[in-house]
Amino acid sequence: TIDLTAPAAPSITGIVSDSGSSATDHITNDTTLVLSGTAEANSTVTITRIGTGVIGTATANGAGNWSLDYT
């Protein structure tokens, strides 16, 4: 069976520690970040920082959850 359906785009659902004006604005000045999110189960997520390029990759687990420790 060939899967012809494109996966949904991965998303960032959390940043530890979010130091912006609210806990959900995804703004921080913390240089020791742990990013987390959701993606297609067992897929590889590549995180890119504008102006810098790829900062890391993470693998989503069987439930589609992933995290990246960017310290």
> What are the pLDDT digits (tens) for 3-48?
898 888 999 998 777 666 776 776 777 777 889 999 999 999 999 9
C-alpha closest to that of 56 among 64, 44, 38: 44
What would the mean pLDDT of 39-61 be, rounded to a whole number? 94
Beta bridge partners of 54: 48
C-alpha closest to that of 30 among 16, 44, 43: 16
Contact at 8 Å (CB) between 23 and 30?
no
Higher per-residue pLDDT: 49 or 20:
49
What would the mean pLDDT of 39-60 be, rounded to a whole number? 94
Higher per-residue pLDDT: 50 or 64:
64
Show the tokens assigned to 68: 């990246």
Output the pLDDT for position 23: 66
